[in-house]
Amino acid sequence: MRVFLILTLTTMATSVAFGQSLPFHDDFNDGDFDGWEVIDDVEPQFGPSDWSVEFGELVQKSNIWSYGPVELETKYHLGTHVATGDKNWADYSFNAVVRSSDNDGVGLIFRYQDERNYYRILLMNDAAWSGRDSSGVPVNTPLQRLQKFIDGEPYILAENKVSQAYPSDYFALTADVRGDTLRAYLNGDLILSALDDTYDSGRIGLLSYANTGAYYDSVAVTQAPVIYSEPEERQFMYRVREFRAPYIQNPTQTSVEVAWRTVDPSVGRVRYGMEKGNLDLEAVESEQVQKHHVRLDGLQVSTRYFYEVYSGSDQSSDEENFKTAPRHDQKQFSFLVLGDSGVDTPTQWRVGEQMRASMNEREVDFVVHVGDVHQGAGDYYDDIYFKPYREIIKNINIFTSLGNHDVITDNGNVYLDDFYLPHNNPDSTERYYSFRWANAYFIALDTNGDFSPGSAQHDFLLEALNDSLRRSAT
């Protein structure tokens, strides 16, 4: 019986040695990945790669893949990889903690000779791009695959067609190689194994195929058999990278929410009132945070308020204003509509300026965004949303909806972390919602999720259509 040493990782762990022989260990806490060689695979599309260290993790954020034709792309599943280590490493356990905010390829490379000759473990959640199996049959499911490359050509040694190739949060991935026996483990469980003696030693590597968010940490190579178990007490956090100016969220007849972000934690305050220069009311957060979110309650219907935002003792905004939602019997109001809003281009900024000009010409109550708030990977909204529309969202709300690009990264959780939307549905999710404005009723749906009859979203739609607020809207 083989005995494996099981290591349970926590976010506080900085070493996985625990007395074992460790030819190599890198937790990236020094802020760099010196000693790793970056290799972009053949015929890169949408490159180059973007490897960096962020908050103690090695990250690859480019949507790089190899080959233009789909049949070649899905045959090879190549993109970019990094390699390090000793070519004479023979029998070892190679462990890493991994997370993917995309649904494409991540994995480990081992007994690496060069960029055309090695073994690898490939995990893919994107069923649409999973290619064909060893028999040439389309896979059409997420896959877990153990492969070898000889002179750049892939050979499948073992594979699983699964409903989920890897979990949405952090997971442990292990390649344990002893002689001609190759084994792959996910969170301590054996998922793939094969016998092959093509390569008897070699370096290690980490891979990324068409993945805009491949995260690696706690990489270790041990001579003794060490298999990481599922990481405990480790949650991914969307970091605050820079100051984000205040933006209005979720206005109702009697409340408004003000959000902003600061690099340094602080207690947020919003001073507000109905007269310019006389801000006699205040709402204060209960603790120091970076992601500030303050709800102002007890407001009067259809009333303009003035406000200032403070982060600790620092004033974080000039005096701005917002207006609460109107009475339900109001017959006229105006709003703007946009969608597929851009990726920080001059055209997007010009559209934002035109929207602001419209607000100066007439009173605009709010904006409806019909989806693809982020038209790229959906991993960072400051440059493509909060900056271009800064002069708009400090005064009025944009009611956003999830587009297909917004859910590419982490199934839309970045979007949900940035926006504070109505969650008036049985699941209390912000992915779909409804709201009443004056004599009109609005319903926002998430077409990326299940909306078939009998689904939670379909039931919500039927309930919303029968809601008294909807039926009284004219």
Helices and strands in the chain, H and E counts: 6, 32
- The pLDDT-based confidence of 377 (bands split at 50, 70, 90) is low
119 and 67 in one domain?
Answer: yes
* 132 plus 258 within the same structural domain: no
Check which CATH number belongs to the domain holding 310 and give it. Answer: 2.60.40.10
In a domain, 26, yes or no: yes
Rama region for 49: left / alpha / beta (φ>0; ψ in -120 to 50; rest): beta
The CATH number for 14's domain is: 2.60.120.560
Q: Which of helix, strand or coil describes residue 322?
A: strand
| % of the chain surpassing 90 pLDDT | 82
Q: Are residues 142 and 248 in the same domain?
A: no
Helices (H), 257-373: 346-361
User: pLDDT band at 378, cuts 50/70/90?
Assistant: low
Q: Is the same domain home to 162 and 17?
A: yes
Cβ(115)–Cβ(41) below 8 Å: yes
**Domain count along the chain:** 2
Which of 204, 228, 252 lies at the terminal end of a domain, its last residue?
228
The residue that leads in pLDDT, 23 or 90, is 90
Q: Which residues of 164-191 are buried (b: 16+ CB within 10 A; e: fewer)?
A: ebbeeebbbbbbbbeeeebbbbbbbeeb
Minimum mean pLDDT range among 35-44, 248-257, 446-455: 446-455
| The residue type at 36 | W
**474 inside domain:** no
**Same domain, yes or no: 248 and 154:** no
Contact partners, residue 444, CB within 8 Å, separation at least 6: 399, 401, 421, 432, 433, 434
| 24 lies in the same domain as 165 | yes
Distance CA 303, CA 199 (A): 73
Residues 213 and 148 in one domain: yes
Residues 74-120 have pLDDT tens digits of 999 999 999 999 999 999 999 999 999 999 999 999 999 999 999 99
pTM above 0.95, yes or no: no
| Lowest model confidence (mean pLDDT) among 18-32, 89-103, 126-140, 286-300 | 18-32
* Exposure string over 82-113, b if 16+ CB within 10 A, otherwise e: bbbbeeebeebbbbbbbbbbbbbbbbbbbbbb
What's the full length of the chain, in residues?
474
CB neighbour list of residue 255: distance below 8 Å, 6 or more residues apart: 295, 296, 297, 298, 299, 324
- Residue where a domain stops, chosen among 172, 204, 228: 228
d(CA 472, CA 474): 6
- Given 265, 298, 326, the domain boundary residue is 326
Average pLDDT, rounded, for the chain:
92
* pLDDT tens digits along 211-261: 999 999 999 999 999 999 999 766 667 788 899 999 999 999 999 999 999
Q: Based on the fold, state whether residues 197 and 271 are members of the same structural domain.
A: no
Range of the domain at 284: 240-326
The tokens for 198 are 């093509």
b or e along 222-242 (b: 16 or more beta carbons within 10 Å of the residue's beta carbon)? beebbbbbbbeebeeebebee
Q: Is the residue at 415 inside a domain?
A: no
pLDDT at 7 over 60: no
CB 393 within 8 A of CB 386: yes
120 assigned to some structural domain: yes
Backbone φ and ψ of 48, nearest 5°: -75, 180
Structural domain includes residue 444:
no
Cα–Cα distance, 79 to 43 (Å, whole number): 9
Would 471 be classed as within a structural domain?
A: no
Q: State how far the alpha carbon of 246 is from the alpha carbons of 287, 292, 346, 387, 394, in Å.
A: 18, 9, 23, 11, 6
Q: Do 158 and 197 lie in a common domain?
A: yes
Q: Is residue 153 domain-shared with residue 289, that is, in the same domain?
A: no
User: Which burial class, exposed, middle or buried, applies to 264 when counting CB atoms under 10 A from its CB (0-12, 13-18, 19+)?
Assistant: exposed
Residue at 142 is within a domain: yes
In a domain, 233, yes or no: no
Residues 178 and 299 in one domain: no
Do residue 117 and residue 48 come from a single domain?
A: yes
